[in-house]
A and B are shown apart, each in its own frame.
Chain A
Amino acid sequence: MAALISGAGAASMADIVATGETGAAALSVRGLRKSYGGQEVVAGVDFSVPRGTCFGLLGPNGAGKTTTLRCCLGLTAPDGGEIALGGYPVPAAADAARARVGVVPQFDNLDPDFTASENLLVYGRYFGLADAGIRARIPALLDFAGLAGKEGARLQTLSGGMKRRLTLARALVNDPDIVFLDEPTTGLDPQARHLIWERLKRLMAQGKTLILTTHFMDEAERLCDRLAVLDHGRLITEGAPRELIAAHIEPQVVEIFGDEAPAWAKARRALGERLEVAGDTAFFYCRDAAPLLAALPEAPGLRYAHRAANLEDVFLKLTGRELRD
């Protein structure tokens, strides 16, 4: 009997360990709280990122995204809550967790004194990797980043987009399971953004988990399997991009521009389910836009665009249109 009990105990322990290493989420955050100077910046955040998926953390400036990411990486000690990254408790075992993680930070912090390949070599050493192993990976990493043949290029000779791609290559030097990307395409031209998106999709195809923050809703919609909107330190919604659009917003949007647009629209408020006015633009959110579209030709001074509702509409509805600093 005693043997049976202890045997069962051992089995359940083994299950727990096995779950911790493989089955569990890539990142799970429970009840995360963090205050600075009495102000709660993260006020009880819960989310979970299944392995092999892309998770987006959206929110206006100051919403608590950066603090949440810093807590997840073990760089900031939370005031409350539990975090497990790659199966490791954070911050207790943050160094072990970070060994399996890559980070593309918001601001470029490549080494300006080094060439492209020296940047990768030196960064790989921080993971305890041997020089020979890193050097063997460098050509493939640079190739992945669209920087083939740039091994010896000095950093000053690289464009902004190239540096961003080099930062992505650097984040992959330890072949991580999980990659954090903090605004990966901010400041890039459309060509460079599309290249980054294509590479991120390849990483997902390889089974890596991506966790990204962005201010570009098209980026989030395109890449993320699930996303969460954070505001004032709280998650205000979470779901797949399509689900969020269906749940929060009328399917059709008509944007009307022109000096007369706000007055014209306010007089015809009933033509849509919801009307928002910002500057000289009126936004009609409609289930059926036909009556509105039929009325528009009678106002020749106005230009308009009819489109499907998107994530940006959800974001603006949930977090408001006023500026955040």
Chain B
Amino acid sequence: MTRSLYALPRPGLRWLPVWRRNFLVWRKLAIPSVLGNLADPLIYMLGLGYGLGGLLPQVSGVSYVSFLAAGTIVASTMNAATFEALYSAFSRMHVQKTWEAILNTPLSLDHVLTGELMWAASKSLLSGLAILLVVTALGLTASPLALWIVPVIFLTGLCFAALGLIVCALAPSYDFFMYYFTLFVTPMLLLSGVFFPADQLPAAVQAVSGWLPLAHAVQLARPLLHGAVPADAALHVGALLAIAGVAFFIASVLTRRRLLK
């Protein structure tokens, strides 16, 4: 903390103009963007929740659609942050050379990356919030504790934005992102307790799944949605913060190596 204070003599918000640039672009395309972010996860949640849920007894003490709701909120947050930090950030870095233009101003790469991190997290917050609103409107939550899901969404977004920026820094082209999705995102989606309780998995797999960032997010969001204080909340929050911090540091080092040779 002291070190970073000394490293940044002006602890101001110099990344904010980068965030505002992305916000201005988003504002022009807001309606299709929001619809796209909302429709897909909702179709899955409602289709699986009511369709598959009709065949199931209660899952972990609640209806299946209610079980699925918390998972959908964080999974959709993850997707939004990941897409923004992969495809959109890569376009700005590599295709449009937007970052290069910014680096010719007094801003540094650290400001650019912080702006991108905060932007991807903000955009994913919007995605998660939209699902939370629909879930609330459907009567799938009634507890005021559900409001605590808002910071959980933002933290989840930060975590996956930071991870995504690592992949962005390494990518030679858009095709590279497919590896990240097939090798990391999709397995994580299935192992983190989004669609079914993770304790259904073999013990060996559970040992891995407990470490996944999305699993921490699920274990925070699900109890909150159902009106309970999450067990080991500090551990899960700490794990998400640690992953976000370490991932952002790695992304910064890799991006500096890529762009500031």
Contact = CB atoms under 8 A, between A and B. Distances in A.
Given A98-B104, A98-B105, 18 more contacts: A36-B261, A73-B104, A77-B260, A95-B106, A95-B107, A99-B105, A101-B104, A109-B100, A109-B101, A110-B101, A111-B25, A111-B96, A113-B25, A113-B28, A122-B21, A123-B101, A125-B20, A128-B14
Contacts of A109: 96-98, 100-101
Nearest to A97: B106
B108 interface: yes
B43 to A, nearest CB: 28
28 contacts: A75-B260, A76-B261, A77-B260, A95-B108, A96-B106, A98-B104, A98-B106, A103-B104, A107-B97, A109-B96, A109-B97, A109-B98, A110-B101, A111-B21, A111-B25, A111-B96, A111-B101, A122-B20, A122-B21, A122-B24, A123-B101, A125-B17, A126-B17, A126-B102, A127-B106, A128-B14, A128-B17, A128-B106
A210 to B, nearest CB: 15
B38 interface: no
Nearest to B107: A126
A118 interface: yes
A297 interface: no
A103 B102 CA distance: 10
A126 B100 CA distance: 12
Interface of A: 36, 73, 75-77, 95-96, 98-99, 101, 103, 105, 107, 109-114, 118, 122-123, 125-128, 174
Contacts of A76: 260-261
A143 to B, nearest CB: 22
A129 B204 CA distance: 56
Contacts of B25: 111, 113-114
Contacts of A113: 25, 28
B103 interface: yes
Given A114-B25, A122-B17, A122-B24, A105 B261 contact: no
B100 A105 contact: yes
The 3 closest A-B pairs by CB, nearest first: A109-B97, A126-B105, A125-B17
A105 B108 contact: no
A96 B106 CA distance: 6
Most chain A CB atoms below 10 A, which of B14, B21, B96: B21
A96 B107 CA distance: 10
Contact of A105 (B20, B28, B96, B101): B101
Interface string B182-224: 0000000000000000000000000000000000000000000
